[in-house]
Amino acid sequence: MKQAYVGVAILFLVGLLTSGMFLLLSHLASAYRPTKVKAMPYESGINPLGDTRERYSVKFYIVAMLFIVFDIETIFFIPWAVIFRDLGLFGLIEMFIFIFVLGVGLAYAWKKGALEWD
Amino acid sequence: MSSTLTLPLPDLVIGSEPPADAEQSPSVKALRSRFGDAIRAVRMDPVGTPVISMEPGRIHEALQFLKADPDQAYDLLLDVMGADPGGELVIQVWYQLWSMKHGRMLRLLASLPRSGLSIRSAVDLYATANWLEREVYDMYGVHFENHPDLRRILMPENYDEGFPLRKDFPLRGRFARSEQVKRALNRSTEDVYAREELALAGLLDDEAIAPRPDTMHETEDHLEGEKMVINMGPQHPATHGVLRLVLQLDGETVVRCIPHIGYLHTGFEKTCEYREWNQVIPYTDRMDYLAPMLYNIGYVLGVESLLGVEVTPRCRVVRVILSELNRILGHLLWLGTGAMDIGATTVFLYTFQERERIYNLHEAYCGGRITTSVTRVGGMVADLPVGWLEACREFVERLPKTLDECDRLLTRNSIWQSRMIDIGVIDADAAIDLGLTGPNLRGSGVAYDVRKARPYLGYDEYDFDIPVGKVGDTYDRYLVRLEEMRQSVRILLQALDSVPDGPINVSDPAVILPDKSEAMSSIDAMISHFKLVMEGLQVPAGDVWYSIEATKGELGFGLISDGGSKPVRCRFRGPSFVNLASLPHMVEGGLVSDVIACNASIDIVLGEIDR
Amino acid sequence: MEAISGTAFVVATIVKTLVFFVILLLGVALTTYMERKVAGFMQDRSGPNRVGPLGILQVMADGLKFILKEEVTPEAAHKRFFLLAPVLALFPATVLFGVIPLGSPLPTPWGRVDMIVADVPIGFLYVLGIASLAVYGVVMAGWSSNSKYSFLGGLRGSAQMISYEIGLAMSLVPVLMLAGNVEMPVLVSMQQSFAAGPGTYGVWFIFPLLLSGFFFLVSGLAETNRVPFDLPEAEAEIVGGYHTEYSSMKFGMFFLGEYFHLITTGALISVFFLGGWDIPFWRGDNIRVLADGTVIGDPAWWKTLLTMGAFTVKTTLLVVFFMFIRWTIPRFRYDQLMDLGWKVFLPALMLYIMLTAVAVFVLDRAQIVGPAFAGALFGLNLLLMLIFLYLLDRGRLVRGATAKTRAATATEGD
């Protein structure tokens, strides 16, 4: 089955080529008349106040951390799910414990207010 | 017929009986007894509002008394307006008050000498005075003491040409056109921000104007991120025009919201002072261009009250029909754009289909679709064309189908509800304090509607209900407007059944141009035609503050005449102007998405805000 | 019949890739056209009707416009990331379809050609992995533009996409339980109608795993950033969101990426839950390739065409369904969206996985197989679905208020 990856490689090549072609084509074909006002970032027509890239709210970092935790747990689910029927009762109980731990983690994050978005 | 209205029957009937003696008014009696020495004059205006001219220094005290005393209970400050009666002597400030409890109107009038243009601010009594006083300051240079935020509102912050509505200010401004253009182009970033905003962005080291404490909760063990200052508007898809909101955001949460208006300011009120009474009508279209005929009708009603003219029965009914059609026109636009702001694009096109039908009716009547200019003092521009009433009835009968469709799409939609319920809550007391009128006030549960409180055009003869909300959130305002359209349909059906025959215009040759054929055959008609065209309509000296129920709330006209053919003062109290001032109260502490929902629910039109 | 191999395999793969890619590009172009026609249909208007017959050439006109418009790069933008972001938005969407089986195997003189660009043994993981790449385009676009609206859109977009990625992955766990495999073609052969034999169920997975399908549909919709989940680009709030500063073809690539995503999401739902290229109520297309290379059933070129047609129809219907959603309902608010993902979907999915595991375990012990097995699970899912929707609704739809109840009671009452 290794040769199946030839298909993936060709596909990646085609995908990258398409993207590159789009960029190149529009770069070559489009007009280019920059002015100072045109190059200003859009803020409803008013000169922006302050910088954009400053320290922003911690809430967004929390989402990222939660994601890492739960997405990795999800990855553990997948091999289990594939062979779950061969594992029998043992696999079932083990995964119950796993989900329980995961649930406790979620409940903790919830309780601590990590899931308050506003 | 429901009996929601605890308001007593109105005692003001336009143009019929002569106004009673002002001294008989209980408010005047009470003020006489307490502030007798401060009262300079008392009179009655043509619609029966007692006008009390007082020492400027005692006005604040009087307002305090009028608001607090249970026998007066003037809880709604409808308008604060300035006026320059000419002669380079004084500047007047009018306070127009309404008592919900007693159903009474009152006007306090302060005449300030040019040498001492200063009066105590009423913001501590009525929150609505904030923007209204700022406008008086902006236009007349009256300084309001103790005002929390006295800066220009319609003109740019760094406007140097003076105070535009003063009589000594030339129509085209003090500076040459080239100089005005130069100044407009050379504005620096700091010029377009208020000092408070610069302080919010940390660009101003000024302890005196430290930003207000955050309205959001501070979690002590959280590392607070930098708060972002962002401009929403003037060029933004969802601000319904060139409205600019400066938002201070913490993540997605709005900490502070500062509206900036005036981008559409063209000085209508100034221009109108240079136009004859009938020539003002086209300017009225262009304020609330979403429901232009209501402005047309309200304005001529105000002038007619000064003239003491009563229009013909046919004209009254036609005006009611056009008013209600335009109320639907305005509400439909609100429904469509409001839904689109929240992401339901399809409703927008459904409502616009119906709006097109109303525009077709406009066109069939007067030729114009948006700028209708349909009224004349003393009547209408023309009688209804043949078949118009039938076309109108056809529209009115099919409209509920579309309303039901939008209702089904939105009202019970889970997402729609979660976007609107308990968002932007303003309770009844706060709504009155903020001077909200129209559906915004009724959404908060106050059944105040000018059509019921001070019926004009014979609205008391029609059977209709005033829907009111309970909580005062965005959802209530939505429900109220949806129901108001259905009530308008009810009124329309009754009015369409009862259009009387007869002339549409009054027969007074001093008011209305005679028929063309008559002018060509009769010398009397010819003379009056000539006089009206050459000299213009002569309106007797006097002043009036007249209001009607427009789509967005109470639309007031403060008119002063010196007996000539042009108004001395032509004040338009656009309801959106006052309603918009409540936006910060609704959105601070909410999310960015709520700003859009709240802004949509207030239903503003920048044309009448900026004028 | 032997699978194609050697040089012929490479040639076949290249041909397949190019043909499918061109078809997909055309499909995307047609989808953008269809979107406007569907919107027009729903909104009582005609949609594009000026360029070409029925406005079909509008697509070409738009493409030309994308290419010919001026490219504007904000002065404070991070140039490299600004350029890379649209590539990262488009690229994953284009390569995702490579592991999706599109039809029954095609017999050729040189051997059997599978109608899949890359029949990788980890097809399922490939899908999840590549799909999650799309978030980088959004984040980079938002951050590199140095515009506050873009930045807000980027933050919203990243938070939303990673949140719903969990839902996307977890909703497929029950599918894997039933399938016991991560190869995409096997998933299809298991769902073939009336199929019998070990490891088959004879029905589409949407029946035994109804709730799973629902979660996947919603999460997939959230991943495509469309209404009601279009917050990263909600034009009413944050103008254009993360692509506010993009113009010409760079914007076009975000735009195309969204439609690529739309089609791939539709295709994935077809494969996972609607039997892939299976034609319902017909045994003739029950062609399976076992792991050792033996073929059950008889492939034919016309069957390949028919099955590909069936697959296209399923995907198209799903895409139209997504369009109907877009033009019907309003959008969520940021916190409501996150609440739905973390406080509703995540716990519900964990519970659902546990319940499905127990059910599968019990049914296995009871020696129930095939359609009976699927039927029993379907009953369970129907019940769970009703409970779930009832709880989610919290009495809003079922016992909702009309405009009258809240507003007018106050008028009539006192």
Binning pLDDT at 50, 70 and 90, where does residue B492 land? very high
pLDDT above 90 for B504: no
DSSP string, C47-77: -S-SSSGGGTTHHHHHHHHHHHSPP---TTS
- The answer to whether residue B41 sits within a structural domain is yes
How far is B189 from chain A, CA to nearest CA, in Å? 6
Query: Which site among B7, B353, B412 would you substitute to test the C interface, given the most C Cβ atoms closer than 10 Å to its Cβ?
Result: B412
Domain ranges, residue B416: 268-610
A66-86 confidence digits (pLDDT tens) = 888 888 888 888 888 888 888
C54 touching A, CB under 8 A? Answer: no
With contacts defined as CB-CB under 8 Å, which chain A residues touch B219?
113
Give me the count of residues in chain A.
118
How distant is the alpha carbon of residue B197 from its chain centre? 28
Which of B100, B119, B145 lies at the terminal end of a domain, its last residue?
Answer: B145
Do residues A70 and A107 make contact, with C-beta atoms less than 8 angstroms apart?
no
- The answer to whether residue B165 sits within a structural domain is no
Give me the count of residues in chain B.
611
Question: Which of B393, B419, B262 is closest to B338 using CA atoms?
Answer: B419
The CATH number for A55's domain is 1.20.58.1610
* C-alpha to C-alpha distance for C332 and B413, rounded to whole angstroms: 12
Please name the residue of chain A whose CA is at the shortest distance from the CA of residue B233: A44
Q: How far is CA B82 from CA A66, B172, B579, in A?
A: 59, 20, 19
Q: Subunits with at least 3 CB pairs below 8 A relative to chain C?
A: A, B
- The answer to whether residue C1 sits within a structural domain is no
What local confidence, expressed as pLDDT, does residue B203 receive? 67
* C-alpha to C-alpha distance for B508 and C255, rounded to whole angstroms: 65
Q: Mean of the pLDDT values across residues B141-159? A: 86
- The answer to whether residue B244 sits within a structural domain is no
- Which C-chain residues 278-317 have CB contacts (< 8 A) with chain A? none
pLDDT above 80 for C282: no
For tokens 């409803």, the residue is A44
Question: Which of A21, A33, A39 is closest to C253 using CA atoms?
Answer: A21
Token pair in block for residue B188: 């620096």
* C-alpha to C-alpha distance for B401 and B351, rounded to whole angstroms: 11
Domain ranges, residue C135: 6-394
DSSP lists the bridge partners of residue B554 as B549
- The answer to whether residue C408 sits within a structural domain is no
* C-alpha to C-alpha distance for C21 and C15, rounded to whole angstroms: 10
Please name the residue of chain A whose CA is at the shortest distance from the CA of residue B252: A118
With contacts defined as CB-CB under 8 Å, which chain B residues touch C327?
345-346
Binning pLDDT at 50, 70 and 90, where does residue B225 land? low
Over pLDDT 70: what percentage of chain B?
93
Token pair in block for residue B445: 């549960």
With contacts defined as CB-CB under 8 Å, which chain C residues touch B483?
403-404, 407-408
- The answer to whether residue B248 sits within a structural domain is no
Over pLDDT 90: what percentage of chain C?
3
- The answer to whether residue B352 sits within a structural domain is yes
What local confidence, expressed as pLDDT, does residue B364 receive? 92
Of A3-17, B44-58, B350-364, where does the model show the most confidence?
B350-364
Q: Is C142 exposed, middle or buried (0-12, 13-18, 19+ CB in 10 A)?
A: buried
- The answer to whether residue B553 sits within a structural domain is yes
pLDDT above 70 for C68: yes
- Say if the Cβ atoms of A49 and B197 lie within 8 Å: yes
pLDDT above 80 for B160: yes
DSSP string, B133-173: HHHHHHHH--EEET-TT---SSS-TT--S--TTSTTS-TT-
What local confidence, expressed as pLDDT, does residue B221 receive? 45
A47 touching B, CB under 8 A? Answer: yes
With contacts defined as CB-CB under 8 Å, which chain C residues touch B467?
407-408, 410-411
What local confidence, expressed as pLDDT, does residue C396 receive? 52
pLDDT above 60 for B4: no
Q: Mean of the pLDDT values across residues B223-245? A: 79
Binning pLDDT at 50, 70 and 90, where does residue C405 land? very low
The number of distinct structural domains making up chain A is: 1
The number of distinct structural domains making up chain B is: 2
C331-361 confidence digits (pLDDT tens) = 888 888 888 888 888 888 888 988 888 888 8
With contacts defined as CB-CB under 8 Å, which chain B residues touch C332?
415, 418-419
What local confidence, expressed as pLDDT, does residue B230 receive? 85
C339 touching A, CB under 8 A? Answer: yes
How far is C47 from chain B, CA to nearest CA, in Å? 12
Q: Mean of the pLDDT values across residues A58-67? A: 80
Please name the residue of chain C whose CA is at the shortest distance from the CA of residue B472: C407
C230 touching B, CB under 8 A? Answer: yes
With contacts defined as CB-CB under 8 Å, which chain C residues touch B401?
none
How far is A47 from chain B, CA to nearest CA, in Å? 6
What local confidence, expressed as pLDDT, does residue A96 receive? 87
| DSSP at B9 | P
Please name the residue of chain B whose CA is at the shortest distance from the CA of residue A52: B228
Question: Which of C233, C318, C322 is closest to C272 using CA atoms?
Answer: C318
pLDDT above 80 for B190: no
Q: Which of B189, B201, B244 sits opposite A44 (nearest CB)?
A: B244
What local confidence, expressed as pLDDT, does residue B355 receive? 92
Binning pLDDT at 50, 70 and 90, where does residue A118 land? low
Token pair in block for residue C40: 């027009």
- Say if the Cβ atoms of A11 and C98 lie within 8 Å: yes
Do residues C35 and C58 make contact, with C-beta atoms less than 8 angstroms apart?
no
DSSP lists the bridge partners of residue B550 as B553
A65 touching B, CB under 8 A? Answer: no
- Taking the alpha carbons at both ends of chain A, their separation in whole angstroms is 49
Q: Which of C327, C393, C410 sits opposite B345 (nearest CB)?
A: C327
Of B342-351, C195-204, C290-299, C370-379, where does the model show the most confidence?
B342-351
With contacts defined as CB-CB under 8 Å, which chain A residues touch B590?
118
- The answer to whether residue C414 sits within a structural domain is no
The CATH number for B51's domain is 3.30.460.80
B410-467 confidence digits (pLDDT tens) = 887 778 888 888 888 888 889 998 989 989 998 888 888 888 888 888 888 898 888 8
Of A84-88, B311-315, C273-277, where does the model show the most confidence?
B311-315
- Say if the Cβ atoms of C330 and B465 lie within 8 Å: no
Please name the residue of chain B whose CA is at the shortest distance from the CA of residue C147: B230
- The answer to whether residue B10 sits within a structural domain is no
Binning pLDDT at 50, 70 and 90, where does residue C179 land? confident
Average pLDDT, whole number, for chain B?
84
- Of B124-128, B395-399, C45-49, C280-284, minimum mean pLDDT range: C280-284
Q: Is B148 exposed, middle or buried (0-12, 13-18, 19+ CB in 10 A)?
A: exposed
With contacts defined as CB-CB under 8 Å, which chain C residues touch A67?
162-163, 165-166
With contacts defined as CB-CB under 8 Å, which chain C residues touch B447?
410-411
Question: Which of C363, B357, C231 is closest to A84 using CA atoms?
Answer: C363
Q: Mean of the pLDDT values across residues C215-221? A: 90
- Whether this model's pTM surpasses 0.95: no
- Say if the Cβ atoms of C145 and A41 lie within 8 Å: yes
Higher pLDDT pick, C180 / B263:
B263
With contacts defined as CB-CB under 8 Å, which chain C residues touch B4?
410-411, 414
Binning pLDDT at 50, 70 and 90, where does residue C313 land? very high
Which of B105, B126, B145 lies at the terminal end of a domain, its last residue?
Answer: B145
- Say if the Cβ atoms of B591 and A47 lie within 8 Å: no
Please name the residue of chain B whose CA is at the shortest distance from the CA of residue C149: B230
My answer on whether omega of the bond before C228 falls inside 30° of 0, hence cis, is: yes
- The answer to whether residue A30 sits within a structural domain is yes
Do residues C102 and C277 make contact, with C-beta atoms less than 8 angstroms apart?
yes
- The answer to whether residue C302 sits within a structural domain is yes
How far is C291 from chain A, CA to nearest CA, in Å? 10
pLDDT above 80 for A59: no
- Say if the Cβ atoms of B237 and C236 lie within 8 Å: yes
- Say if the Cβ atoms of C118 and A5 lie within 8 Å: yes
With contacts defined as CB-CB under 8 Å, which chain A residues touch B591?
118
B177 touching A, CB under 8 A? Answer: no
Which of B112, B145, B178 lies at the terminal end of a domain, its last residue?
Answer: B145
Query: Which site among A1, A6, A19 would you substitute to test the C interface, given the most C Cβ atoms closer than 10 Å to its Cβ?
Result: A19
- Say if the Cβ atoms of B222 and A54 lie within 8 Å: no
pLDDT above 80 for C66: yes
B238 touching A, CB under 8 A? Answer: no
- Say if the Cβ atoms of A15 and C69 lie within 8 Å: no
C70 touching A, CB under 8 A? Answer: yes
With contacts defined as CB-CB under 8 Å, which chain C residues touch A92?
357-358, 361
Average pLDDT, whole number, for chain A?
81
* C-alpha to C-alpha distance for B292 and C243, rounded to whole angstroms: 38
C237 touching A, CB under 8 A? Answer: no
Higher pLDDT pick, B593 / B218:
B593
What local confidence, expressed as pLDDT, does residue B301 receive? 92
Q: Subunits with at least 3 CB pairs below 8 A relative to chain A?
A: B, C
pLDDT above 90 for B57: no
- Helix (H) or strand (E) run with residue B571 in it: strand B567-573
Q: Subunits with at least 3 CB pairs below 8 A relative to chain B?
A: A, C
B355-383 confidence digits (pLDDT tens) = 999 999 999 998 888 889 899 888 888 88
What local confidence, expressed as pLDDT, does residue A55 receive? 67
* C-alpha to C-alpha distance for C36 and C255, rounded to whole angstroms: 14
What local confidence, expressed as pLDDT, does residue B17 receive? 43
Quick one: three-class SS letters along B298-352? HHHHHHHHHHCCCCCHHHHHHHHHHHHHHHHHHHHHHHHHHHHHCCCHHHHHHHH
Domain ranges, residue A62: 4-111
Q: How far is CA B136 from CA B82, B119, B123, C226, in A?
A: 5, 11, 13, 47
How far is B205 from chain A, CA to nearest CA, in Å? 15
Token pair in block for residue A104: 């406790």
- Say if the Cβ atoms of C69 and A83 lie within 8 Å: no
What local confidence, expressed as pLDDT, does residue B391 receive? 92
Q: Mean of the pLDDT values across residues C65-82? A: 85
Give me the count of residues in chain C.
414
A10-45 confidence digits (pLDDT tens) = 888 888 888 888 888 888 887 788 888 788 888 877
- The answer to whether residue A117 sits within a structural domain is no
- Say if the Cβ atoms of A26 and C86 lie within 8 Å: no
- Say if the Cβ atoms of C169 and A96 lie within 8 Å: no
- The answer to whether residue A23 sits within a structural domain is yes
- Say if the Cβ atoms of B342 and C331 lie within 8 Å: yes
- Say if the Cβ atoms of C331 and B467 lie within 8 Å: no
Over pLDDT 70: what percentage of chain A?
92
- The answer to whether residue C345 sits within a structural domain is yes
